[in-house]
Structure 1
Amino acid sequence: MGIRSDQEIFDRVSWFKVPKDSLRLNVLMFGFDSLSHNMWKRLLPKTYKYAVKDLKGIALNGYNIVGDGTPQALIPILTGRTELELPDTRKRMGKGAKYVNVYPFIWNDYQQNGYVTGFAEDMIQINTFTYRLKGFLEQPVDHYMRTFYVEASPNFGSYKPFCYGGMSRFKLMLDFIRNMYEVYKDRPKFMFTFHNEYTHDSNDGAGNADEEVYQWLQEFHIKGYLNNTLLILMSDHGSRFADIRNTQQGKQEERLPAFIFLFPPWFEKKYPDAMSNFRTNAGRLSTPFDVYATLQDVLHYKGAGRGSIANRGISLFQEIPIERTCQHASVEPHWCSCLDWESVSPASPTVSGAIEHLIKFINSQTSEYRDLCHELKLNKVLWTARLLPNEYVLKFKKNYDYDGFLGDMTDSTQITMETYEVKVSFSPGNMIYEASIRYLKKEGRYSVSLSDISRINKYQHMTHCIEDWDILHHLRKYCHCR
């Protein structure tokens, strides 16, 4: 299976036809169905590490969905609008339904500005725009992989699960992308690809993709394909059908899919302010509308700066205001994963237990070196709070209607984990710490890690006894020398 070389397309696409105010990047979006940010890290660890650590990708830790299901996740990314804001394309509307071609897809903008376009999605029986929606009357892009899947899918049952002859069906999609880069090597490209089979019904198959995606990324890096490409690794939402969705953690993860942006090495040198904003935005609330605004900015770059909180979609090259809320970003309450802090009494048994656990944990870091470091004791509790999940998230059970527009708010999900934020001072030395401690209610135990603890006042002379020991430098945060 390969990409057909089309002279008419060759004649139409060229970097000379790309707008002068563009960032002059290919755009390649590669997505998995139903894979949360955390699940991506758990099940595709090799890929995640290579993308984020080695290739310096930027993961959006605050990326929040705006609706239920794949269409509600992808339509805003690809059009900048919700399904309800667009002409009705639902099959069940009969003759009143429009074909999905009526949507103002972002790939149309790229195609009209000198780019060759491609779209691939497997599992044709559940495709984003053909399962519940009417589908396309005309081929939506220059190269549309559905044509292959329609012909090949009836034969899939003849092979082992996930296989097509001697190769994985997943590799077919990777080859489609590779072929686009080989055939249109020196031409501007916009591609949107979305893989369902490994993850739609369960996340159990996701691990199968880790080595393949890792090797594919390595190949693209070595061949130089990423030198002029904005690569976006993504998902539509977290798992919606697994048992984890019935838990507090699962409901949060459903709303927080994976989104990783990888830029060419030269890009940060040329656009330092834009990349600085992008890194800041990785920790702020972002949505599909922002991704759409970013894709528009690639085509017509408007510069770095501070985004307006009044805009539903803010380009990630502009700084998203820190005060932005779900309401500002048009995220309905039951989809909002943002958490609230509630002040609690330090005398509360659970809070005092959390503080006691923190003291023991910090002292355990220096226990081997008690001849050098004091055992710390609680001096004063400065601040305590509990992190609360959004009540609407806990109440949301499922879609009330077939189209995913209305929510059934009758669920009563129990909180199984509480997170406490404490600010305390220890003696000797008035060492001040802020820490997040988790309380696992069913197990009745606390959990904290080194990354959950911040020392927020200066060490000064307190660590003199370990300064000359390289192997003990990691203890500077916790050691008060004798």
Structure 2
Amino acid sequence: MFNWIRDFFDMYPQQPKFSFLFHSHYSHNSNNRLPHADDELFAFLQMMQKHGRLNDTKLIIMTDHGARFSSLRKTHQGKLEERLPFMSIRMPPKFQDQYPTIMRNLRLNSHRLTTPFDIHATFEHLFNFHSLSPYQSKSNRSVSLFELVPENRTCAGADIEQHWCACLNWHNISIDEPIIQQFSRAVVNFLNNFVSDHKEDCATLTLLRVNKASRLEANNHLLKFVQSSDVDGRVPQFRNASSQPLNETKFYQIQFETTPGEAQFEVTAEYDPIKDIFDIQKRHLSRVNKYGETSACVAWKRPEFREICYCSNLLVHTNLSSTVTAAK
């Protein structure tokens, strides 16, 4: 795949160009194969350097997320791996010499909370780099990485939802607590309702077990945001060093399994103690083991079902297999 980029540069040596290469063959299903890409990547970078192509190329090497399907994902480290993908930016030498302040900001920002929205803002900044007007981001949730990202930036201020925030204080609690039992039942109901318009294709899921449960507690050093910034007003107010009251709502997270199929999920939801309900949303749900072909019956018709649906026709095959085994 790297050869495509080489050919691209060979074909258009003088023209300004933009290229986006997406490579998932080695890493999508397992971390263990990723080292096999090292030699190819190293050879590609050597070629770019040898032919002087890095002299006028802004190079970004990044991942869109960390490992999602592995035994590592079930650990605390795996949780961070998913939420903290790799990001590397290299600017041409002339750019580095000509804009030392920007390079200083870029290096400092590598130690601060940043998001893909900031990468988008950085591209916008590049495309308007020689404008007479100073660059201004079109959104409050993004900062060009050529500018200094605030040192006290929070997940809420960066528009990172609680489920994806790596800066939160999660405290483990017993899976036997009534609130966790209520949460797990509500989540399974949510899963079944989510695929209900294809219930003839998708088997009804039931709770197999809850493996882990956590409750979010505000971290005074990291979560200083005290006012809602999202359009739905769902971001809670966290207590900081001042007397600002803590929002009544709480966030809970569970890792659980469903049957049939032994699917493993992690979900974060906001609990409203006044209404005694959980606000469960699909975007706050992660499938943490591989679903493979178990949702093939709806994969093309309803791709958003792939993580959840267990095809009913697999139950027929399983039952037939069991019957044959019993007969023997």
TM-score range for the pair, normalised by the shorter chain length: 0.5 to 0.7
Q: Aligned pair in 2 of structure 1 residues 241, 392: CA closer, same or farther (>3 Å)?
A: farther
Which residue pairs with 1:210 in the alignment?
Answer: 38
Between the two proteins, what is the percent identity of the paired residues? Answer: 40
1:224 and 2:32 correspond = no
Rounded Cα–Cα distance in structure 2 between residues aligned with 1:189 and 1:270 = 22
Query: Which AA in structure 2 matches 1:199?
Result: S
Rounded Cα–Cα distance in structure 2 between residues aligned with 1:249 and 1:201 = 18
Maintained 8 Å contact 1:238/1:257: yes
1:291 and 2:168 correspond = no
Which residue pairs with 1:406 in the alignment?
Answer: 283
Which residue pairs with 1:277 in the alignment?
Answer: 105
State the shift of 1:398 in Å. Answer: 3.6
The secondary structure found in structure 2 opposite 1:203 is coil
State the shift of 1:394 in Å. Answer: 5.4
Which residue pairs with 2:7 in the alignment?
Answer: 179
Which residue pairs with 1:189 in the alignment?
Answer: 17
Rounded Cα–Cα distance in structure 2 between residues aligned with 1:266 and 1:295 = 18
Maintained 8 Å contact 2:118/2:142: yes
Query: Which AA in structure 2 matches 1:300?
Result: N
Rounded Cα–Cα distance in structure 2 between residues aligned with 1:303 and 1:315 = 17
Rounded Cα–Cα distance in structure 2 between residues aligned with 1:395 and 1:306 = 42
Which residue pairs with 1:324 in the alignment?
Answer: 153
1:216-246 Cα offsets, whole Å, 9 max, x none, are: 1011001001111010001010000111111
Structure 1: give runs of 5+ residues left out of the alignment.
Answer: 1-172, 343-384, 412-482
Q: Aligned pair in 2 of structure 1 residues 296, 410: CA closer, same or farther (>3 Å)?
A: closer
Rounded Cα–Cα distance in structure 2 between residues aligned with 1:213 and 1:184 = 22
Rounded Cα–Cα distance in structure 1 between residues aligned with 2:42 and 2:252 = 34
Maintained 8 Å contact 1:308/1:321: no
Maintained 8 Å contact 1:237/1:257: yes
Which residue pairs with 1:334 in the alignment?
Answer: 163
Superposition map of 1:427-466 within 5 A: none
Rounded Cα–Cα distance in structure 1 between residues aligned with 2:282 and 2:73 = 19
The secondary structure found in structure 2 opposite 1:194 is coil
Query: Which AA in structure 1 matches 2:69?
Result: F
State the shift of 1:259 in Å. Answer: 0.5
Number of aligned positions between the proteins: 193
Query: Which AA in structure 2 matches 1:227?
Result: N
Provide runs of 4+ in structure 1 moved above 4 Å.
Answer: 302-310, 339-342, 391-394, 408-411
Maintained 8 Å contact 1:326/1:333: yes
Which residue pairs with 2:141 in the alignment?
Answer: 312
Superposition map of 1:78-117 within 5 A: none
1:186-226 Cα offsets, whole Å, 9 max, x none, are: 11110111111111111121111101111110110010011
State the shift of 1:407 in Å. Answer: 2.6
Query: Which AA in structure 2 matches 1:327?
Result: A
State the shift of 1:405 in Å. Answer: 3.7
Which residue pairs with 2:69 in the alignment?
Answer: 241
Maintained 8 Å contact 1:255/1:336: yes
Which residue pairs with 2:93 in the alignment?
Answer: 265
- The TM-score normalised by the length of structure 1 is 0.36
Superposition map of 1:379-390 within 5 A: none
Which residue pairs with 2:194 in the alignment?
Answer: none
Task: Please report the RMSD computed on the Cα atoms of aligned residues, expressed in angstroms.
Answer: 3.6
Rounded Cα–Cα distance in structure 1 between residues aligned with 2:69 and 2:38 = 22
Maintained 8 Å contact 1:334/1:392: no
Which residue pairs with 1:430 in the alignment?
Answer: none
Rounded Cα–Cα distance in structure 2 between residues aligned with 1:399 and 1:293 = 30
